[in-house]
């Protein structure tokens, strides 16, 4: 039974507490938030849950084995560092830290203290992304030619980061999980609007050694919410629309073959193949439940998480490069 | 009565011939195509229409006042140059030429010979783009913050150009028409795929002196056809979906205001305004009919076309910069 | 402060308890469910809430002023009857009872005992239906020609009723609220499928004295979920799609005018008018909060609820007629 | 080489002429329309095509083997009768006649004179309906539980018929083709609106001996165009949306199984199965080309058309029953 403490009971914290409370491998023991009313809310929702207002107290509580951190990004590093140094296993919200140097430090402390360090890149644990991974790995898609994502809406969801750190971080985690290779170059354009001093929209392109190219379009000033990625393989192509209630993944049996047509100057022979379209059934579960379960599993069986500190570091590297 | 000759009866030529034939200001007199079967098809469809196989013959025919050119891009310059030098008014398909230098030459010849030189940027004459222009000009949108277009499908539509010259050219024409200002910088990334030696997808960003930024995502390898632009103003925002049969323009009464919130470090006061959505009724007409009518009108009343040689040149400048 | 007891803590009960607990006019005092684990769940979620397993005990508790009943339909009548006879105000889930005779009895007891009797036809209190009512009442739609609803999905939501009592009941409540007149005739066809002894799909048509006709298509065996009504007026027409997250109501400026064309035998002159389309902004609130607030308000100020026993009776009359 | 004459060059006639002209088995010889300008239009579009203004002349022309009739419904019977009596093969637009008695007469004359009599129920020849037929015949859908069609739009397409004869006729032809059995009972409700003396909307239900039920909702006064049928089988279910450009048929692996649950009074055990969704690729062809080809084939090889006079008669029977 892993005894868990959660720091931060704002937007995401309640979801962590609820999932740890429901997992039979965990004892959801202590929640910490500087605002007393939030602590009370947490205790009303979960009988027997203790609370405190000081993160240092939680981190050094000898009755806590693992700490989950759901606080503003700027506090991730000091809190995670303190927890790891106190020998606690750490699950931290994405992005892991504000700088690659900080992430590198956390990795080293975790390894030195033999603690699990995991980043909550929730998307990686969704049924949709798992299915796409499977379709790539079993060769259904063929070579991945491009990943082209539009992730826009009206409104800012995080207040201490710009639109790239808030929204593009999801696509970078998905790409890191889906593709074996990592980007070798980045090109990004953003725009600050009105009296705002952070980027509110940005267009990022990531280049790989292979034929793959990735493009991420993020925008806090869009009239509608769009969460859609086109993933083009040379055998099949996918539309991943995360706002679709049940048909999130559409697999198109479409492709293209080029051959030279010597008879015509202006015309290459291009064969477009158009076949059936398929919407695979996806298991319905809350991705965060898998995150929590995987974190506990890695602690108990001394395993490396799929979204470990190294993965978190790679994402921060790319976010720094794009910013 | 303007006597019109059309060069090229492939994909677009038949539409030009049909519209000139229907316009009471024009005498659709002569069509020219090197393939004899196409000439026969044209004559079957339009009683009394004459045809020839040599463009030079058409250009120098003293019974022709105006020439419309619907041939591969690489032939636009020599054909338009010959026609203008022969004193004919010219309507040429987009893009006007393959290089800015060629376009500049055509402008000069046209001015010297007092001929109308017009480029068929058809999109500028659609009811949808006209309506968007009106909503910008009357202040409904407020300041235009961004233009973000996705124009993708499976398949190559033009064979002597890459995806930017084939698809992004439409957005550049729309932008030139909608905005008073012109881009001051360009960033573009493309990708050649398979054994193809031209770009099959590209992401282009155009920067303006003002707060405006434009982004154009074009792709010949997409699983579905998308023709959709988001146009964000600080007062209202538009979604322009050209594949919608009747609801092409959606005007969202959405906006955002930033104010500093001195009480909180991590939080700017951001007010999002969400109101009604409105789909204006659009007149139903064929845009090419307006193109043809405007061309004839400019000849008869000695006017400068909205999509004249200078506009064609600006587009080619941007295409060169993006490529 | 109205002291409230809720009977039934299954599917809908928790929503009632939550909304009563949040309303400053109510003291959410007692919850009753025969299953002990449900009582415990209720108490964990709401600190200080008492529970009992016997409805009779709750009904006769002198510390309770009002009773909300969220139990299977077959128990509505005995529970509501007992509560009204004990002098409690009653909010009962829809449909009010299984027969019109029972509903009539409840109305009489409530009037005799000067108790508020209200039916929870939640749809009537949604922002969407309120907006449609306003568009009809202010003449925007003109005369209502038809109401045509499709309400289908895969799966049974209630187990002691057929598809008409489960799904069509919503449309009947909406119609009762929207239109001043009541149906004068009913035609309904249903179908029992497989080894099921209740109707799993049904098509009901309701006729009014005026030009209005209403059609309700309900189906538990549909491959997708649809919740969409067309409402045709002679001036404007509405599509009400309850599954749209934010654009639930679309108002089309479309209409039709007939005039006799004396010149042609087979052709009436029909003028179709097609104009703009408009999506009004809807306030975002939980309809049940309005239900609870209105119920408390009627008790405190001795008012008749909008969805009172008489309205509940009219709906049951129509359900009986259609079945 | 079958020599074909077409009567009527209004809305549908040009499509017939074009398809007969393109079929190598036919000699598109003569077109007939009382309006001279239409005859001229036909001749301009098709070189060498002769025209006349009198149907009697066409019918008795010894150089004509087969007659296609695309005129108002009220004239179908006299024209088809005259043509069959003159020994011509006949392709007549749907519905075959205005009464079942007339259709019966045509069948008898055709059989007596050994002429092919075919009705142009075009829908039966579309790739989408062919694919649905295949999915029913090969057992993919299982038993067909229901066919539920919505076929609505703003505007009248035919002026000498009501909405049932104009729109429901399509669904009746599709049903006749898809199902081996024929309806045994009909229930229909319609409504005349404004000063219009024909039904402008109607709801028709057709009952079969088996478990199947069919429902057809037709409306000329709808704010949007909808052409969508749900087809529920006990193994799979289909959505057929004819307005989808490429994804007309969606096959849902959804179903339901009922078993008695002895332990619970109010609850039958219902198992809903939800699996993948599949969009089969459909061949792209013009259905009318298949109609014309099949008609010519039946003449040449002395075969019975799939949509012969008997089928046309069955449809008229149902239209009469529903009206």
Q: Which residue of D has its CA nearest to B247?
A: D224
Kindly determine whether residue A281 and residue D247, on different chains, have CB atoms separated by under 8 Å.
no
Q: A150 has which bridge partners? A: A217, A228
Nearest by CB: D281 against A247, A276, A280: A276
The pLDDT score that the predictor gives to residue D257 is: 66
Average pLDDT over residues B204-211: 90
Count of alpha carbons within 13 Å of D278, Cβ hemisphere only?
18
Give the number of other Cβ atoms within 10 Å of residue D263's Cβ. Answer: 7
E-only strand ranges, B155-248: 185-191, 201-207, 213-219, 221-233, 237-241
- CA-to-CA distance for B241 and B228, rounded, in angstroms? 4
The pLDDT score that the predictor gives to residue C274 is: 84
Which chain D residues touch B44 with a CB distance below 8 Å? 47
Q: Are B300 and B2 in contact (CB under 8 A)?
A: yes
Nearest by CB: C258 against D154, D196, D232: D196
Kindly determine whether residue B230 and residue A211, on different chains, have CB atoms separated by under 8 Å.
no
Q: Closest by alpha carbon to A145, among B161, B163, B200, B322?
A: B200
Q: Lowest-confidence range among B118-132, C128-142, C200-214?
A: C200-214
- Average pLDDT of chain B, as a whole number: 91
- CA-to-CA distance for D120 and B184, rounded, in angstroms? 60
Q: How close D238 gets to chain C, by Cα (Å)?
A: 7
Q: Closest by alpha carbon to C215, among D199, D218, D229, D224?
A: D218
Spell out which chain C residues touch chain B, with contact meaning CB-CB distance below 8 angstroms. Answer: 247, 253, 274-281
Is 70 exceeded by the pLDDT of residue B61?
yes
The pLDDT score that the predictor gives to residue C48 is: 85
Q: Are C178 and C129 in contact (CB under 8 A)?
A: yes
Which chain D residues touch C211 with a CB distance below 8 Å? 191, 193-194
Is the bond leading into D179 cis (omega within 30 degrees of zero)? no
Q: Closest by alpha carbon to B177, among B28, B306, B79, B317?
A: B306
Burial B232-249 (b: 16+ CB within 10 A, else e): bbbebbbbbbbeeeeebb
Which chain D residues touch A284 with a CB distance below 8 Å? none
Kindly determine whether residue D47 and residue B44, on different chains, have CB atoms separated by under 8 Å.
yes
The pLDDT score that the predictor gives to residue A260 is: 56
Tell me the pairing of strands B89-93 and B66-69.
parallel
- CA-to-CA distance for B126 and B122, rounded, in angstroms? 7
Residue showing tokens 């106190």: A86
SS3 B189: strand
Neighbours of chain D (3+ CB pairs under 8 A): A, B, C
The pLDDT score that the predictor gives to residue C266 is: 45
The pLDDT score that the predictor gives to residue A265 is: 45
Q: How close C224 gets to chain D, by Cα (Å)?
A: 9
Residue showing tokens 């390898």: B221
Q: How close C153 gets to chain A, by Cα (Å)?
A: 13
Q: Which residue of B has its CA nearest to A75?
A: B266
Which chain A residues touch B223 with a CB distance below 8 Å? 230, 232, 237-239, 250, 252, 254
The pLDDT score that the predictor gives to residue B189 is: 87
Percentages helix, strand, coil for chain D (3-state, rounded to 5) are: 35, 30, 35
Q: How close C187 gets to chain D, by Cα (Å)?
A: 8
SS3 A263: coil
- CA-to-CA distance for A202 and C211, rounded, in angstroms? 55
- Find which of B221, B229, B262 to mutate to test the A interface (most A CBs within 10 Å of its CB): B221
Q: Lowest-confidence range among B75-79, B213-217, D281-285?
A: D281-285
Kindly determine whether residue C280 and residue B278, on different chains, have CB atoms separated by under 8 Å.
no
Q: Which helix (H) or strand (E) holds A152?
A: strand A144-154
pLDDT per position as a tens digit, A266-320:
445 566 778 999 999 999 899 999 999 999 999 999 999 999 999 999 999 999 9
Which chain C residues touch B244 with a CB distance below 8 Å? none
Average pLDDT over residues C9-22: 94
Q: Lowest-confidence range among C135-149, C240-254, C266-280, C306-320?
A: C266-280
Average pLDDT over residues B236-256: 93
**Percent over 90 (pLDDT), chain B:** 78
Q: Which residue of A has its CA nearest to C49?
A: A44
pLDDT per position as a tens digit, C49-80:
999 999 999 999 999 999 999 999 999 999 99
Average pLDDT over residues D112-118: 97
Average pLDDT over residues D64-88: 97
Neighbours of chain B (3+ CB pairs under 8 A): A, C, D
Neighbours of chain C (3+ CB pairs under 8 A): A, B, D
Average pLDDT over residues C23-33: 95
Which chain D residues touch C249 with a CB distance below 8 Å? none
Q: Report residue A4: phi and psi, to 5°.
A: -110, 135
Q: Which residue of B has its CA nearest to A73?
A: B266
Kindly determine whether residue B45 and residue D45, on different chains, have CB atoms separated by under 8 Å.
yes
Is 50 exceeded by the pLDDT of residue B266?
no
Q: Report residue A71: phi and psi, to 5°.
A: -125, 175
Q: Which residue of B has its CA nearest to D42?
A: B45
The pLDDT score that the predictor gives to residue A210 is: 83
Q: Which residue of A has its CA nearest to B238?
A: A223
- Find which of D40, D47, D223, D244 to mutate to test the B interface (most B CBs within 10 Å of its CB): D47
Q: Closest by alpha carbon to D35, among D5, D68, D59, D71?
A: D71
pLDDT per position as a tens digit, C227-281:
999 999 989 999 999 999 889 999 999 877 665 555 444 445 566 778 999 999 9
Count of alpha carbons within 13 Å of D211, Cβ hemisphere only?
16
Q: Which of A155-169, B35-49, B215-229 has the highest mean pLDDT?
A: B215-229
Kindly determine whether residue A189 and residue B195, on different chains, have CB atoms separated by under 8 Å.
no
**Percent over 90 (pLDDT), chain C:** 78
Pair of tokens at residue A125: 């644990």
Q: Which of A31-40, A190-199, D150-159 has the highest mean pLDDT?
A: A31-40
Kindly determine whether residue A211 and residue B217, on different chains, have CB atoms separated by under 8 Å.
no
The pLDDT score that the predictor gives to residue D131 is: 97
Is 50 exceeded by the pLDDT of residue B314?
yes
DSSP D165: I
Q: How close D213 gets to chain C, by Cα (Å)?
A: 7
Q: Closest by alpha carbon to D295, among D91, D46, D29?
A: D91
| Long-range interactions of C43-50: CB distance < 8 A, separation 24+ | C44/A47, C45/A45, C45/C14, C45/C17, C45/C18, C46/C17, C46/C18, C46/C21, C47/A44, C49/C17, C49/C21
- Find which of D128, D237, D279 to mutate to test the A interface (most A CBs within 10 Å of its CB): D279
The pLDDT score that the predictor gives to residue D254 is: 87
Which chain B residues touch D45 with a CB distance below 8 Å? 45
- Find which of B152, B153, B210, B223 to mutate to test the A interface (most A CBs within 10 Å of its CB): B223
pLDDT per position as a tens digit, A208-260:
988 899 999 999 999 999 999 999 998 999 999 999 988 999 999 987 766 55
Q: Are D178 and D247 in contact (CB under 8 A)?
A: no
Q: How close B250 gets to chain C, by Cα (Å)?
A: 9
Confidence of residue D48 (pLDDT cuts 50, 70, 90): confident
**Percent over 70 (pLDDT), chain D:** 93
Kindly determine whether residue C279 and residue B275, on different chains, have CB atoms separated by under 8 Å.
no
The pLDDT score that the predictor gives to residue C134 is: 97
SS3 D72: coil
Sequence-ordered list of residues with C-beta below 8 angstroms from that of D229, at least 6 positions apart, any chain:
D147, D148, D149, D150, D171, D174, D238, D239, D240
Kindly determine whether residue A187 and residue B189, on different chains, have CB atoms separated by under 8 Å.
yes
Confidence of residue D265 (pLDDT cuts 50, 70, 90): very low
Nearest by CB: D277 against A247, A253, A274: A247
Give just the sign of the alpha carbon dihedral A174, A179, A184, A189: negative
Average pLDDT over residues A27-56: 92
HEC readout, chain C: CEEEEEECCCCCHHHHHHHHHHCCCEEEEEEECCCHHHHHHHHHHCCCCEEECCHHHHHCCCCCCEEEECCCHHHHHHHHHHHHHCCCEEEEECCCCCCHHHHHHHHHHHHHCCCCEEEECHHHHCHHHHHHHHHHHCCCCCCEEEEEEEEEEECCCCCCCCHHHHHHHHHHHHHHHHCCCCCCEEEEEEECCCCCCCCCEEEEEEECCCCCEEEEEEECEEEEEEEEEEEEECCCEEEEECCCCCCCEEEEEEEEEEECCCCCCCCCEEEEEEEEEEECCCCCCCHHHHHHHHHHHHHHHCCCCCCEHHHHHHHHHHHHHHC
Is the bond leading into D95 cis (omega within 30 degrees of zero)? yes
Kindly determine whether residue C230 and residue D223, on different chains, have CB atoms separated by under 8 Å.
yes
Kindly determine whether residue D277 and residue A278, on different chains, have CB atoms separated by under 8 Å.
yes
- Average pLDDT of chain D, as a whole number: 91
Q: Closest by alpha carbon to A207, among A247, A239, A179?
A: A179
The distance in angstroms from the start CA to the end CA of chain B is: 41
Residue showing tokens 């039966």: D124
Cα dihedral D217, D220, D223, D229 in deg (nearest 10): 30
DSSP D178-216: H-SS--SEEEEEEE--TT--S-SEEEEEEE-SSS-EEEE
Q: Are D313 and D96 in contact (CB under 8 A)?
A: yes
pLDDT per position as a tens digit, A121-154:
999 999 999 999 999 999 999 999 999 999 999 9
Average pLDDT over residues D243-267: 74
Q: Closest by alpha carbon to C167, among C79, C229, C75?
A: C229
Q: How many CB pairs under 8 A join B and C?
A: 26
Average pLDDT over residues B55-73: 96
Q: Which residue of A has its CA nearest to B161?
A: A266
The pLDDT score that the predictor gives to residue B158 is: 63
pLDDT per position as a tens digit, D199-231:
889 999 999 988 899 999 999 999 999 999 999
Give the number of other Cβ atoms within 10 Å of residue B160's Cβ. Answer: 15
Spell out which chain A residues touch chain D, with contact meaning CB-CB distance below 8 angstroms. Answer: 247, 253, 274-281
Which chain B residues touch D44 with a CB distance below 8 Å? 47
């Amino acid at each position: 039974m892993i005894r868990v403490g959660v720091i931060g009971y704002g937007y995401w914290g309640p979801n962590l507490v609820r999932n740890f409370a429901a997992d039979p491998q965990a004892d959801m023991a202590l929640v910490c938030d500087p605002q007393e009313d939030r602590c009370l809310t947490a205790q009303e929702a979960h009988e027997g849950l203790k609370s405190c207002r000081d993160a240092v107290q939680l981190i050094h509580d000898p009755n806590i084995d693992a700490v989950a951190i759901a606080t503003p990004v700027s506090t991730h590093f000091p809190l995670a560092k303190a927890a790891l140094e106190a020998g606690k296993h750490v699950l931290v919200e994405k992005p892991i830290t504000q700088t690659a140097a900080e992430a590198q430090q956390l990795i080293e402390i975790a390894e030195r203290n033999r603690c699990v360090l995991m980043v909550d890149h929730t998307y990686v644990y969704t049924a949709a992304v798992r299915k796409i991974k499977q379709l790539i790995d079993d060769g259904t898609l063929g070579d991945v030619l491009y990943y082209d994502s539009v992730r826009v809406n009206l409104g800012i969801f995080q207040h201490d980061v710009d639109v790239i750190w808030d929204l593009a971080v999801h696509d970078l985690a998905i790409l890191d999980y889906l593709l074996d290779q990592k980007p070798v170059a980045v090109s990004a354009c953003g725009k600050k609007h009105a009296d705002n001093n952070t980027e509110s929209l940005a267009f990022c392109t990531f280049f790989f050694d292979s034929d793959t190219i990735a493009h991420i379009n993020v925008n806090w000033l869009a009239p509608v919410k769009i969460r859609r990625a086109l993933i083009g393989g040379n055998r099949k192509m996918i539309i991943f629309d995360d706002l679709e209630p049940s048909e999130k993944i559409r697999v198109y049996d479409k492709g293209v073959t080029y051959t030279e047509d010597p008879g015509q100057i202006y015309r290459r022979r291009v064969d477009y193949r158009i076949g059936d379209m398929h919407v695979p059934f996806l298991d319905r579960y809350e991705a965060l439940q898998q995150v929590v379960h995987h974190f506990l599993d890695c602690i108990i069986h001394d395993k490396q998480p799929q979204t470990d500190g190294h993965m978190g570091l790679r994402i921060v590297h790319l976010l720094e490069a794009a910013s």
